[in-house]
Chain A
Amino acid sequence: MVQYNFKKITVVPNGKDFIDIILSRTQRQTPTVVHKGYAISRLRSFYMRKVKYTQTNFHEKLSTIIDEFPRLGDIHPFYGDLLHVLYNKDHYKLALGQINTARNLIGKIAKDYVKLLKYGDSLYRCKCLKVAALGRMCTVLKRIGPSLAYLEQVRQHMARLPSIDPNTRTILICGYPNVGKSSFINKITRADVDVQPYAFTTKSLFVGHTDYKYLRYQVIDTPGILDRPFEDRNIIEMCSITALAHLRAAILFFLDISGSCGYTIAQQAALFQSIKSLFLNKPLIVVCNKTDLQPLDGLSEDDMKLVNEMKADALKTAIGQGGEGTDADVLLTMSALTEEGVIAVKNAACERLLNQRVEIKMKSKKINDCLNRFHVAVPKPRDQKERPVCIPPAVLEAKAKQAAAEEKRKTEKDLEEENGGAGVYSMNLRKHYILADDEWKEDILPEILDGHNVYDFIDPDILQRVEELEREEGLRQAEDEEDDFEMDGTELTPEQQEALIKIRRKKSVLINQHRIKKSTAESRPIVPRKFDKDRQFTTERMGRELSSRGLDPSLAINRMRSRSASRTGRKRERSPEGRDDGMDIDDDTPSKKQRLSRSRSRSRSVSRPPHEVVPGEGLRDSAQKIKAIKLAKKSVKKRNKNAKRGEADRVIPTLKPKHLYTGKRPKGKTDRR
């Protein structure tokens, strides 16, 4: 379903351009060369392809048009009605229907002519048939030319329609022409609607957005409605009526009580009565605009009576919904020019709409989905004692005082606004400076003095800091002398001193390490310990640490070495043959081979001799591996296909072999072989 955004419809080309596009595409994208000497099936398929290709293109383009234009039954009834008012539903449907018929006709033509092409027995006949087919397709398209032009106009206009969401919170503004609806919407939203002194300045719906209580509201400005019987209304008024009829919105009925729009209050009240039926089930607010020209109290008796009637009607709808009943909620005054009451009107409308929508939601079934999701947790009362909110009296006093102070105190911003605003009056920011001598407030501070920047030397606590610095200087010299002692005032024994030095050293090392780690932790990737790239974790280090604790490291080192990686490539040597019983646990005399291999692991840094072949990679022993290597080398050697006796053998058995010196080139150029 196409949502309310009609801006994505592709451009509809007009008849002539359409034909040109398709025919030139056929000419470019299908093969162009054909001769009468070709086989008849080739000729036939050549022309059939052209006919089919043209038909496919027509079909595709016409289908996009039909699919992209919205079906009036599939979109929201508000938009369906609006499009009917603007473009006449019947005409629209007819145009699309004609395009559909054209598409089918073109398909039929292509089918018939492809059938006929099968009987074509000469190039001339096939060509004539193809020309006839394409010509008929283009004639079909020429006939729907006016429909295409109409659809293009409709598309251009549709793309400029405002995108109104029919289901969200909406405020609708209606009333006679020239009462101030567009000025109101300009004030509360960012929509820039034309405001002019003549009637029917606004000729279509305009939408703007405004916020209230963290929710977004659409505000729709409608063209003015005159008080006429329904059948006499023109298209512009019908747009407003459509919006009033289909959108579930809060309605602001604007009344111009000064009469400067050119219509009396009596006429406006008559309009209200005639479109009252459209206001059912919608929150209605009667707004009296242009109070700067004529205040509400200054109205005559009859006018007041009419206004009160309208107010009563509006009250009825309000009571029907939420049972409010306050006068101020249904009848409001404002002036768009002086901007008094504008925000109040907006807030009242938004509030009423929100309440109504919440109520409806609560009553509907959908609320259960929402209710399941939130849960207000209240602590379970453990006894019947009441525990009201406890605010200490001091806080209450402070709050009250602050409120009073805020009211009393005049801010610089208020002063600025009083004196004409931001561009007219510049605030005196220095008025409240706290300086040693009040006369210095208005002084201009130099920036450079004696070649130095003054600001480098300024600091509010500068005097304090100087004192501190001097004290530190004096202290530091004393500090260096009393370095190691005086933890608790007691002297330490020499061993303890040594221990203390060691501890301090270790601590500083740890701190440095931690600092380094911390400073580069985020940018440095953490390498897990098993990829020991810094070679921190070596057996020497382990040996050193252990020996420093007084333990013998040799066993541990041996164990590590026996598990080292250099040994994994080595298959475990079979134990010497001849041992039937497997009870030889303590085999202290390993065979010479094993001894040799084990001794090699001790000195890991010795490189292997070049001819040494290490078994592994699926090969059983060195001999097998040597064989495999030999095979691999042999397979890379080139085969002696020319039966050469050696590298230096340059004999050519036949100087001009026939298979190389016969035959034509496809292009006919055989200059050389």
Chain B
Amino acid sequence: MPQGDYIERSIKENGRRLDYEERKRKKAAREVHKHSQKAQKTLGIKGKMIAKKNYAEKAQMKRTLAMHEESTSRRKADDNVQEGAVPAYLLDRENTARAKILSNTIKQKRKEKAGKWDVPLPKVRPVAEDEMFKVVRTGKRKTKQWKRMVTKATFVGPGFTRKPPKYERFIRPTGLRFTKAHVTHPELKCTFNLEIIGVKKNPNGPMYTSLGVITKGSIIEVNVSELGLVTPAGKVVWGKYAQVTNNPENDGCINAVLLV
């Protein structure tokens, strides 16, 4: 019975075919042509995948070639400029630094007054009510249409109990309730799976905020005790705001960016 490294042993004892080297070389040479034939002939999704792979390879190859050629090409010589000194091409211009600084503070004061904050997604697409709610017909003859079912992701707190079903106007189905969010720290660039504490603001309206509907762009508060952040005073930070960056009802999960 073949045991141990019988293949290598047999090669060592009996050697290889007399034309082994030649066959190997020719086969390797033919591989290139076969690859190109396959890429040209394959249809459908497989063809697209092959094309994608080939393109990625080509881009990578170009990048490496460019890197190698960097040293041989000529570059513009950038003279080192000292701090505070004006670079050579600005010598004839006037100094507008201070004015710029002034206008920046004025701009920030204005933003504070307006209540606009510096968030990753300042503008989001508005969601219409008929997209947000689905009408549920009730009653013996199914003619009453005062109930609505939420079709987007929602958050209900841990102590949540429904109103008696006869009287509840907004139905938040359990399948669409989320408790956790994937929160990315913008500076550390890593993502954590953190619990949601509550929905702070939904840009589509206060009604949605009170219902706990989470859409793209809504601000949620998450439990960051995992991260171990500490205030300068020494207190442990355990809740922080994050803004949702995807459409949770389409992806099945909530992705958010922490607002530091």
Interface residues of A (CB under 8 A from B): 24, 27, 112-113, 115-116, 118-119, 121, 124-125, 128-129, 132-133, 160-163, 191, 193-194, 203-204, 206-207
CB-based contact A119/B173 at 8 Å: yes
Q: Which of A132, A133, A161 has most B Cβ within 10 Å? A: A132
The interface centre, meaning the residue of A24, A191, A194 with most chain B CB atoms within 10 A of its CB, is A194
Contacts of A133 in B (CB 8 A): 252
Known: A160-B5, A204-B4, A207-B3. A121 touches B134 (CB 8 A): yes
Tell me the bound Cα distance from A448 to B247 in angstroms: 104
User: Which chain A residues lie closer than 8 Å to B251 at the CB level?
Assistant: 128-129, 132
Considering only CB atoms, which chain B residue lies closest to A130 in the complex?
B252
Cross-chain contact B250 with A128 (CB below 8 angstroms) = yes
Q: Which residues of A contact B134 (CB under 8 A)?
A: 121
**Candidates A132, A161, A162; contact of B250 at CB < 8 Å:** A132
Interface 0/1 of B53-85, CB less than 8 Å to A: 000000000000000000000000000000000
Which residues of B sit under 8 angstroms from A161, Cβ to Cβ? 3
Q: Is the CB of A119 within 8 A of B176?
A: yes
Residue B245 CB within 8 A of the other chain: no
Interface residue ranges, B against A (CB under 8 Å): 1-6, 9, 45-46, 134, 151, 173, 175-176, 247, 249-253
Bound: A434/B6 CA distance, A: 55
Roughly how many angstroms separate A133 CA and B251 CA in the complex, as a whole number? 8
The smallest C-beta distance from B187 to any residue of chain A, in angstroms, reads 24
Q: Of all chain B residues, which has the CB nearest A120?
A: B249
The answer to whether A129 and B3 have CB atoms under 8 Å apart is no
Q: Are B176 and A116 in contact (CB under 8 A)?
A: yes
Shortest B128–chain A CB gap in Å is: 14
Task: State A17–B253 Cα separation when bound (angstroms).
Answer: 27
Assess whether B175 is in contact with A118, with CB atoms less than 8 Å apart: yes
Closest approach, in angstroms, between the C-beta of B153 and any C-beta of chain A?
9
Residue contact A116 to B3, C-beta cutoff 8 Å: no
A63 vs chain B, min Cβ distance (A) = 25
Between A and B, 10 residue pairs with Cβ closer than 8 Å are A116-B175, A116-B252, A119-B173, A128-B247, A128-B250, A160-B6, A162-B3, A162-B4, A191-B3, A193-B4
Q: How far is the CB of A119 from chain B (nearest CB, A)?
A: 6
Query: Given the complex, which residues of B lie within 8 Å of A124, measured CB to CB?
Result: 250
Report Cα–Cα, A206/B134, bound state, in Å. 73
Contact B250 A129 (CB under 8 A): yes
CA distance in complex: A27, B46 (Å) = 11
Assess whether A163 is in contact with B1, with CB atoms less than 8 Å apart.
Answer: yes
A119 touches B175 (CB 8 A): yes
Q: Assess the A206–B173 pair: CB atoms within 8 A.
A: no
CA distance A641 to B187 in the complex (A): 89
Q: Out of B4, B151, B252, which one reaches A132, CB within 8 Å? A: B252
Extra inter-chain contacts (13) besides given A125-B249, A160-B4, CB under 8 Å: A27-B45, A113-B252, A116-B252, A118-B175, A125-B250, A129-B250, A132-B250, A132-B252, A160-B3, A160-B5, A160-B6, A162-B1, A194-B9
When chains A and B are docked, how far (Å) is the Cα of A300 from the Cα of B193?
Answer: 77
Q: Knowing A119-B175, A194-B9 touch, does A206 contact B252 (C-beta < 8 A)?
A: no
A124-B6 Cα distance, complex, nearest whole Å = 57
**C-alpha gap A129/B176 in the complex (Å):** 13
**B244: min CB distance to chain A, Å:** 15
- Measured between C-beta atoms, what is the minimum distance from B249 to chain A in Å? 6
Asked whether B4 lies within 8 Å of A203 as measured between CB atoms, the reply is yes
Specify which of A24, A124, A133, A160 lies most central, judged by the most chain B CB atoms within 10 Å of its CB.
Answer: A160
**What 8 A-B pairs come out closest when comparing CB atoms?**
A128-B250, A162-B3, A132-B251, A115-B175, A116-B252, A132-B252, A204-B4, A125-B250
Which among A115, A116, A129, A207 has the highest number of chain B CB atoms within 10 Å? A116
Smallest Cβ distance from B139 to chain A, in angstroms? Answer: 22
Q: How far is the CB of B196 from the nearest CB of chain A, in Å?
A: 17
Q: In the assembled complex, which residues on chain A have CB atoms less than 8 Å from the CB atom of B4?
A: 160, 162, 193, 203-204, 206
In the bound complex, do residue A160 and residue B175 qualify as a contact, i.e. CB atoms below 8 Å apart?
Answer: no
Report the Cα distance A102→B32, complex, angstroms: 37
In the bound complex, CA of A44 to CA of B250 (Å): 13
Contact status of A129 and B175, CB under 8 A, knowing A162-B1, A163-B1, A207-B3? no
A489 to B21, CA, bound (A): 98
Residue of A nearest to B151 (CB): A121
A204 to chain B, nearest CB (A): 5
Choose among A115, A119, A132, A206 the residue that contacts B3 (Cβ–Cβ < 8 A).
A206
> From residue A68, how far is it (CB to closest CB) to chain B in Å?
21
B75 to chain A, nearest CB (A): 40
**B157 CB to closest chain A CB, in angstroms?**
21
Residues of B within 8 A of A193 (CB): 4
* B252 touching A112, Cβ below 8 Å: yes
**Most A Cβ at <10 Å: residue of B4, B6, B173, B250:** B4
Give A142 Cβ to nearest chain B Cβ, in Å. 16
Q: Of B2, B45, B46, B176, which is within 8 A of A160 by CB?
A: B2
Q: What is the minimal beta-carbon distance from B122 to any residue of chain A, in angstroms?
A: 24
Q: How far is the CA of A128 from the CA of B252 in the complex (A)?
A: 9
A207 to B6, CA, bound (A): 13
Q: Which residues of B contact A27 (CB under 8 A)?
A: 45
Q: How far is the CB of A124 from chain B (nearest CB, A)?
A: 8
Task: Chain A residues near B151: list those with CB within 8 A.
Answer: 119, 121
Q: Which residues of B contact A119 (CB under 8 A)?
A: 151, 173, 175-176, 249
**A109 — nearest CB in chain B belongs to which residue?**
B252
For the complex, give the distance between the alpha carbons of A129 and B153 in Å: 13
With the chains together, A115 CA to B249 CA distance in Å? 12
For residue A126, which residue of chain B has the nearest CB? B250
Complex interface: chain A residues within 8 A of B1 (CB): 162-163, 207
Residues of A with C-beta under 8 A to B252: 112-113, 116, 129, 132-133
Bound CA span A387–B5, Å = 64
Contacts of B247 in A (CB 8 A): 128
A207 to B247, CA, bound (A): 64
Q: How far is the CA of A574 from the CA of B61 in the complex (A)?
A: 111
Contacts of A191 in B (CB 8 A): 3
Q: Give Cα distance in the complex from A194 to B45, angstroms.
A: 51
Residues on B with beta carbons closer than 8 Å to the beta carbon of A112: 252
Task: Give the residue of A115, A121, A132, A160 whose beta carbon is less than 8 angstroms from that of B253.
Answer: A132
Chain B nearest CB from A458 CB (Å) reads 50
**Can you name the residue of chain A whose Cβ is closest to the Cβ of B9?**
A194
Give Cα distance in the complex from A112 to B250, angstroms.
Answer: 13
In the bound complex, residues from chain B placing their C-beta under 8 Å from that of A203 are 4-5
The CA-CA distance from A129 to B45 in the complex, in Å, is 20
Question: Chain A's nearest CB lies how many Å from the CB of B141?
Answer: 23
